[in-house]
Amino acid sequence: MQHLDIPINNYDNDKPNFKPFAKKVATSIFNYNQDETLIFSIEGRWGSGKTSLINLIENEIKNEIEILHFNPWLLTDINQVIKLFFDELIKILSYGSFKVKLNEKLNIKDETKEQIFQHLKSRLEKLTLDNFLNDEKIEIYIFSRYDKFDLTLDKIANELNNYIFQTSDNFFNVINKFKYWQMSSDGNRWLIAKDSLKRLTNLEEIENYISDLKKKDLIDNKKELLEIWNRETRW
Protein backbone atom coordinates (compact mmCIF):
# COMPACT_ATOMS: atom_id res chain seq x y z
CA MET A 1 0.00 0.00 0.00
CA GLN A 2 1.41 3.38 -1.03
CA HIS A 3 1.61 5.90 1.81
CA LEU A 4 -0.09 9.15 0.87
CA ASP A 5 3.00 11.23 1.73
CA ILE A 6 5.42 9.13 -0.36
CA PRO A 7 5.79 10.18 -4.01
CA ILE A 8 4.97 7.48 -6.56
CA ASN A 9 7.52 6.29 -9.12
CA ASN A 10 5.37 4.33 -11.59
CA TYR A 11 1.87 4.13 -12.98
CA ASP A 12 0.89 1.16 -10.79
CA ASN A 13 0.10 3.55 -7.94
CA ASP A 14 -1.12 6.43 -10.12
CA LYS A 15 -4.36 7.12 -8.24
CA PRO A 16 -4.40 10.82 -9.28
CA ASN A 17 -4.28 9.63 -12.93
CA PHE A 18 -1.20 11.68 -13.84
CA LYS A 19 -0.34 9.31 -16.70
CA PRO A 20 -2.01 11.23 -19.58
CA PHE A 21 -0.47 14.53 -18.51
CA ALA A 22 2.97 13.00 -17.83
CA LYS A 23 2.99 11.47 -21.32
CA LYS A 24 1.87 14.76 -22.85
CA VAL A 25 4.70 16.67 -21.16
CA ALA A 26 7.22 14.00 -22.20
CA THR A 27 6.03 14.24 -25.81
CA SER A 28 6.38 18.03 -25.69
CA ILE A 29 9.98 17.65 -24.48
CA PHE A 30 10.83 15.13 -27.19
CA ASN A 31 9.30 17.29 -29.92
CA TYR A 32 10.89 20.56 -28.84
CA ASN A 33 13.51 21.71 -31.36
CA GLN A 34 13.85 25.45 -30.76
CA ASP A 35 17.04 27.26 -29.74
CA GLU A 36 15.40 28.92 -26.72
CA THR A 37 15.33 27.17 -23.34
CA LEU A 38 12.17 25.16 -22.61
CA ILE A 39 10.91 25.63 -19.03
CA PHE A 40 8.08 23.86 -17.20
CA SER A 41 6.87 25.00 -13.79
CA ILE A 42 4.92 22.48 -11.70
CA GLU A 43 3.04 24.23 -8.94
CA GLY A 44 0.65 22.98 -6.29
CA ARG A 45 -0.01 22.83 -2.59
CA TRP A 46 2.00 20.59 -0.26
CA GLY A 47 1.12 16.94 -0.86
CA SER A 48 -0.70 17.54 -4.15
CA GLY A 49 1.62 15.23 -6.10
CA LYS A 50 4.23 17.52 -7.66
CA THR A 51 7.12 15.13 -7.00
CA SER A 52 5.05 12.15 -8.18
CA LEU A 53 4.31 13.90 -11.45
CA ILE A 54 7.99 14.76 -11.92
CA ASN A 55 8.93 11.12 -11.29
CA LEU A 56 6.46 9.90 -13.92
CA ILE A 57 7.66 12.42 -16.49
CA GLU A 58 11.25 11.43 -15.79
CA ASN A 59 10.42 7.77 -16.34
CA GLU A 60 9.09 8.67 -19.78
CA ILE A 61 12.21 10.55 -20.91
CA LYS A 62 15.18 9.15 -18.94
CA ASN A 63 16.27 6.67 -21.62
CA GLU A 64 16.62 9.42 -24.22
CA ILE A 65 17.56 12.55 -22.26
CA GLU A 66 20.23 13.32 -19.66
CA ILE A 67 18.58 14.35 -16.39
CA LEU A 68 20.16 16.57 -13.75
CA HIS A 69 18.66 16.70 -10.24
CA PHE A 70 19.46 19.89 -8.36
CA ASN A 71 17.93 20.85 -5.03
CA PRO A 72 19.21 24.20 -3.64
CA TRP A 73 16.71 24.46 -0.77
CA LEU A 74 19.30 24.38 2.02
CA LEU A 75 21.75 26.75 0.33
CA THR A 76 21.82 30.46 1.09
CA ASP A 77 25.04 31.58 -0.61
CA ILE A 78 24.71 32.20 -4.36
CA ASN A 79 28.35 31.21 -5.01
CA GLN A 80 27.74 27.87 -3.31
CA VAL A 81 24.58 27.36 -5.35
CA ILE A 82 26.49 27.98 -8.59
CA LYS A 83 29.40 25.71 -7.60
CA LEU A 84 27.16 22.84 -6.54
CA PHE A 85 25.07 23.15 -9.69
CA PHE A 86 28.14 22.72 -11.85
CA ASP A 87 29.36 19.89 -9.60
CA GLU A 88 26.18 18.01 -10.45
CA LEU A 89 26.38 19.01 -14.11
CA ILE A 90 29.89 17.57 -14.39
CA LYS A 91 28.58 14.21 -13.20
CA ILE A 92 26.00 14.18 -15.97
CA LEU A 93 28.17 15.37 -18.82
CA SER A 94 30.55 12.44 -18.75
CA TYR A 95 33.71 12.91 -20.78
CA GLY A 96 33.41 9.20 -21.51
CA SER A 97 30.59 9.77 -23.98
CA PHE A 98 31.83 13.18 -25.05
CA LYS A 99 32.52 12.39 -28.70
CA VAL A 100 29.35 10.34 -28.99
CA LYS A 101 27.24 13.22 -27.71
CA LEU A 102 28.93 15.64 -30.04
CA ASN A 103 28.22 13.33 -32.97
CA GLU A 104 24.62 12.56 -32.10
CA LYS A 105 23.33 15.76 -30.53
CA LEU A 106 25.15 18.66 -32.13
CA ASN A 107 25.73 19.83 -35.67
CA ILE A 108 29.48 20.44 -35.34
CA LYS A 109 32.18 19.87 -37.93
CA ASP A 110 34.43 16.86 -37.36
CA GLU A 111 37.46 19.13 -37.18
CA THR A 112 35.86 21.19 -34.40
CA LYS A 113 34.87 18.06 -32.47
CA GLU A 114 38.43 16.83 -32.57
CA GLN A 115 39.75 20.21 -31.42
CA ILE A 116 37.40 20.20 -28.43
CA PHE A 117 38.34 16.62 -27.55
CA GLN A 118 42.08 17.33 -27.80
CA HIS A 119 41.68 20.48 -25.69
CA LEU A 120 40.09 18.50 -22.86
CA LYS A 121 42.73 15.78 -23.16
CA SER A 122 45.49 18.40 -23.01
CA ARG A 123 44.03 19.85 -19.79
CA LEU A 124 44.10 16.41 -18.21
CA GLU A 125 47.65 15.71 -19.37
CA LYS A 126 48.87 18.94 -17.76
CA LEU A 127 47.04 18.39 -14.49
CA THR A 128 49.33 18.49 -11.44
CA LEU A 129 48.62 18.03 -7.77
CA ASP A 130 49.34 21.70 -7.14
CA ASN A 131 46.80 23.07 -9.60
CA PHE A 132 44.28 20.40 -8.61
CA LEU A 133 44.43 21.42 -4.95
CA ASN A 134 44.47 25.15 -5.60
CA ASP A 135 42.17 25.61 -8.60
CA GLU A 136 38.52 25.64 -7.51
CA LYS A 137 37.42 25.00 -11.11
CA ILE A 138 38.98 21.52 -11.12
CA GLU A 139 36.59 19.00 -9.58
CA ILE A 140 37.19 15.49 -8.24
CA TYR A 141 35.07 13.88 -10.95
CA ILE A 142 37.92 14.48 -13.37
CA PHE A 143 39.68 11.34 -12.06
CA SER A 144 36.90 9.07 -13.31
CA ARG A 145 37.45 10.39 -16.85
CA TYR A 146 41.17 9.75 -17.34
CA ASP A 147 40.85 6.33 -18.98
CA LYS A 148 38.38 7.74 -21.52
CA PHE A 149 41.24 9.82 -22.93
CA ASP A 150 43.78 6.97 -22.93
CA LEU A 151 45.67 8.61 -20.06
CA THR A 152 46.94 7.29 -16.74
CA LEU A 153 46.90 8.76 -13.25
CA ASP A 154 50.46 7.64 -12.43
CA LYS A 155 52.01 11.11 -12.40
CA ILE A 156 49.49 12.87 -10.18
CA ALA A 157 49.11 9.75 -8.01
CA ASN A 158 52.85 9.79 -7.29
CA GLU A 159 52.69 13.50 -6.48
CA LEU A 160 49.77 12.97 -4.11
CA ASN A 161 51.37 10.03 -2.29
CA ASN A 162 54.59 12.00 -1.80
CA TYR A 163 52.55 14.89 -0.38
CA ILE A 164 49.58 13.62 1.59
CA PHE A 165 51.32 12.06 4.62
CA GLN A 166 54.12 14.60 5.06
CA THR A 167 52.07 16.71 7.51
CA SER A 168 48.56 16.68 8.88
CA ASP A 169 47.89 19.95 7.04
CA ASN A 170 48.80 18.27 3.76
CA PHE A 171 46.53 15.37 4.61
CA PHE A 172 43.53 17.59 5.34
CA ASN A 173 44.18 19.69 2.22
CA VAL A 174 43.72 16.55 0.14
CA ILE A 175 40.73 15.21 2.06
CA ASN A 176 38.99 18.58 1.90
CA LYS A 177 39.43 18.68 -1.88
CA PHE A 178 37.61 15.35 -2.16
CA LYS A 179 34.68 16.57 -0.06
CA TYR A 180 31.42 16.99 -1.95
CA TRP A 181 27.80 17.84 -1.21
CA GLN A 182 25.42 14.97 -1.94
CA MET A 183 21.83 15.98 -2.64
CA SER A 184 18.87 13.62 -2.42
CA SER A 185 15.18 13.57 -1.62
CA ASP A 186 16.22 11.58 1.47
CA GLY A 187 18.44 14.39 2.71
CA ASN A 188 21.57 16.35 1.85
CA ARG A 189 25.00 16.06 3.44
CA TRP A 190 28.76 16.30 2.96
CA LEU A 191 30.67 13.15 1.96
CA ILE A 192 34.21 12.26 0.88
CA ALA A 193 34.55 10.87 -2.65
CA LYS A 194 36.49 7.76 -1.66
CA ASP A 195 35.90 6.08 -5.03
CA SER A 196 37.80 8.92 -6.71
CA LEU A 197 40.47 9.10 -4.02
CA LYS A 198 41.25 5.39 -4.19
CA ARG A 199 42.30 5.85 -7.82
CA LEU A 200 45.25 7.84 -6.47
CA THR A 201 46.18 6.34 -3.13
CA ASN A 202 45.67 3.43 -0.74
CA LEU A 203 42.56 3.97 1.41
CA GLU A 204 43.85 1.53 4.03
CA GLU A 205 46.88 3.78 4.59
CA ILE A 206 44.51 6.72 4.99
CA GLU A 207 42.47 4.79 7.58
CA ASN A 208 45.66 4.02 9.53
CA TYR A 209 46.73 7.65 9.38
CA ILE A 210 43.30 8.75 10.62
CA SER A 211 43.58 6.36 13.56
CA ASP A 212 46.78 8.13 14.60
CA LEU A 213 45.22 11.57 14.06
CA LYS A 214 42.33 10.75 16.38
CA LYS A 215 44.82 10.49 19.23
CA LYS A 216 45.83 14.12 18.72
CA ASP A 217 44.13 17.36 19.67
CA LEU A 218 42.66 18.62 16.38
CA ILE A 219 40.90 21.89 15.65
CA ASP A 220 37.17 21.70 14.98
CA ASN A 221 37.21 21.91 11.18
CA LYS A 222 39.63 18.97 11.00
CA LYS A 223 37.48 16.95 13.40
CA GLU A 224 34.54 17.69 11.12
CA LEU A 225 36.44 16.31 8.10
CA LEU A 226 37.18 13.10 9.96
CA GLU A 227 33.52 12.78 10.88
CA ILE A 228 32.57 13.26 7.22
CA TRP A 229 35.14 10.62 6.22
CA ASN A 230 33.38 8.05 8.41
CA ARG A 231 29.99 8.58 6.80
CA GLU A 232 28.66 5.92 4.48
CA THR A 233 26.68 6.61 1.31
CA ARG A 234 23.01 5.82 1.94
CA TRP A 235 21.71 6.00 -1.60
Residue 84: pLDDT above 60? yes
The pLDDT assigned to 130 comes to: 92
The pLDDT assigned to 96 comes to: 42
Residue 157: pLDDT above 70? yes
List the single range of 54-68, 79-93, 103-117 with lowest mean pLDDT.
103-117
Contacts within 8 Å (CB) and 24+ apart, 153-159? 153/199, 153/200, 155/128, 156/127, 156/128, 156/129, 156/132, 156/200, 157/199, 157/200, 157/201, 159/128, 159/129, 159/130
The pLDDT assigned to 125 comes to: 84
Q: Each residue of 188-208: b (16+ CB within 10 Å) or e?
A: eeebbbeebbebbbeeeebee
Residue 12: pLDDT above 50? yes
Mean pLDDT of 16-24: 92
Mean pLDDT of 101-105: 51
Mean pLDDT computed over every residue of the chain: 79
pLDDT confidence tier of residue 195, bands split at 50, 70 and 90: confident
Residue 230: pLDDT above 70? yes
More confident residue, 64 or 161: 161
Handedness of CA 163, 168, 170, 176 (dihedral sign): positive
The pLDDT assigned to 149 comes to: 73
pTM of this prediction? 0.54
The pLDDT assigned to 20 comes to: 93
